[in-house]
């Protein structure tokens, strides 16, 4: 396992700048999740590290060594693709063994067999080992493709939305499984997703990307509790942070354009009145849709609340975030 460093990496595709001068350090043994919507540069970052594509400018280091001009094989990285990555002409067993049979690893047959069995066990696909890869369900395919990364011992694991095609139950199982595999083995893992639950539950570090720029890098808590911008603040938190005009509640600091309120930053029971427009009972929590001076606010309340649409609730902000006109946080 190794530390991965991106140094001022820029990558363009025609007129589009997919990565704009990105620098980040992924510590040895870290589970780094890259967050951002489609087109933010998450997958491009993975491809730069993997060596499938070279940066136009900047450099990637793995374990202190420059990866300039090295092929994916020479970099010893393992990657899980979003889709399409099982070899359809091979069985599950052959798919899992494929990386170990490469000229890079040339693993002895008995070790291959043992590893394939272990990994199949972990991913609950042992009974499918002799199936053709194409005879699997989507979820099974993705588990095999995760397995194909796990049979190796690479310097870094790269995963591109590996869980996005799975159903909810399997996704939460594998989330825990992946996290414990990573924690136990001390692997360095760079993981791309736009699912904030995956980011919050698995990551030791989160990198927030916006149109090719790395806008914030830190622990999930840090990004949740101390976001640098409206954009970073909107990446995490469910329901999403409420972004409202800064002076909606009066007394805004100078230069502030908007105020950001997460549910826990909205104090209920005191302050100005708002009207309940909708109550969503989700079981473990209840979402309250409020109308406050013609602005919609979503917050969370007691799971067994008696509130219903049309009721009046007094609210006031508590330690809110303020953002300036460019969306940057004011401190």
Partner 1 sequence: MSFSVTEPTNRTKWFAGIAVVLYAVITIIPLLWIIATGFKSPEDAIAYPPKVVFEPSVEGYVNLFTSRTRVNEDAMAELPPAETWYEELVREKGQTISGPSRYGERFLNSVIIGFGSTILCMVLGTAAAYAFSRFRVPLKDDLLFFILSTRMMPPIAVAIPIFLMFRNLGLNDTHLGMILLYTAVNLSLSVWLLKGFIDEIPVEYEEAALIDGYTRFQAFYKVVLPQAATGIASTAIFCLIFAWNEYAFAVLLTSGTAQTAPPFIPTIIGVGGKDWPAVAAGATIFLVPVMVFTILLRKHLLRGITFGAVRK
Instruction: Name the site residues for partner 1 (rule: CB under 8 A).
Output: 50-52, 71-73, 76-79, 81, 83-85, 87-89, 98-99, 102-105, 145, 148
CA 266 to CA 301: how far, in whole Å?
10
Q: What distances in angstroms separate CA 93 from CA 57, 115, 129, one per listed residue?
A: 40, 11, 5
Helical (H) or strand (E) element with 217: strand 213-218
Identity of the residue, 134 or 219, whose beta carbon is nearer to partner 1 in the bound complex: 134
CB of 56 to partner 1, least distance (A): 15
CA 286 to CA 267: how far, in whole Å?
15
Give 203: exposed, middle or buried? Use CB within 10 Å, 0-12, 13-18, 19+. buried
Identity of the residue, 15 or 84, whose beta carbon is nearer to partner 1 in the bound complex: 84
Identity of the residue, 8 or 102, whose beta carbon is nearer to partner 1 in the bound complex: 102
Identity of the residue, 81 or 217, whose beta carbon is nearer to partner 1 in the bound complex: 81
Q: Tokens standing for 31?
A: 């589970």
CB of 158 to partner 1, least distance (A): 8
CB of 200 to partner 1, least distance (A): 28
Contacts of 208 (CB under 8 A, 6+ apart): 35, 36, 214, 215, 216, 217, 223, 231, 232, 235
CB of 104 to partner 1, least distance (A): 3
CB of 208 to partner 1, least distance (A): 26
Identity of the residue, 98 or 322, whose beta carbon is nearer to partner 1 in the bound complex: 98
């Amino acid at each position: 396992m190794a530390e991965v460093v991106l140094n001022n990496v820029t990558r363009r595709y025609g007129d589009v700048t997919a990565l704009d001068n990105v620098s980040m350090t992924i510590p040895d043994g870290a589970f780094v999740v890259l967050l951002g919507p489609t087109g933010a540069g998450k997958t491009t970052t993975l491809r730069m590290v993997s060596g499938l594509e070279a940066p136009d400018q900047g450099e990637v280091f793995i374990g202190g060594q420059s990866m300039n001009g090295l092929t994916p094989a020479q970099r010893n990285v393992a990657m899980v693709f979003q889709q399409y990555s099982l070899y359809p002409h091979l069985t599950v067993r052959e798919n899992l063994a494929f990386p170990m049979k490469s000229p890079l690893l040339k693993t002895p047959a008995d070790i291959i067999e043992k590893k394939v069995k272990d990994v199949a066990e972990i991913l609950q696909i042992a009974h499918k080992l002799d199936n053709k890869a194409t005879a699997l369900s989507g979820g099974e395919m993705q588990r095999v493709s995760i397995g194909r990364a796990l049979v190796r011992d690479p310097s870094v694991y790269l995963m591109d939305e590996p869980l996005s095609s799975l159903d909810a139950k399997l996704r939460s199982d594998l989330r825990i499984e992946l996290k414990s595999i990573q924690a136990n083995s001390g692997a360095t893992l760079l993981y791309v997703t736009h699912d904030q639950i995956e980011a919050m539950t698995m990551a030791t570090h989160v990198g927030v990307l916006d149109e090719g720029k790395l806008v914030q890098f830190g622990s999930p808590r840090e990004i949740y509790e101390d976001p640098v911008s409206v954009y970073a603040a909107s990446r995490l938190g469910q329901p999403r942070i409420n972004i409202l005009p800064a002076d909606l509640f009066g007394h805004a600091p100078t230069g502030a354009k908007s105020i950001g309120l997460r549910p826990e930053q909205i104090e209920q029971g005191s302050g100005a009145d708002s009207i309940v427009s909708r109550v969503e009972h989700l079981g473990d929590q209840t979402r309250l849709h409020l109308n406050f001076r013609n602005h919609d606010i979503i917050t969370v309340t007691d799971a067994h609340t008696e509130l219903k649409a049309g009721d009046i609730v007094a609210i006031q902000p508590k330690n809110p975030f303020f953002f300036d006109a460019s969306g940057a946080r004011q401190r």
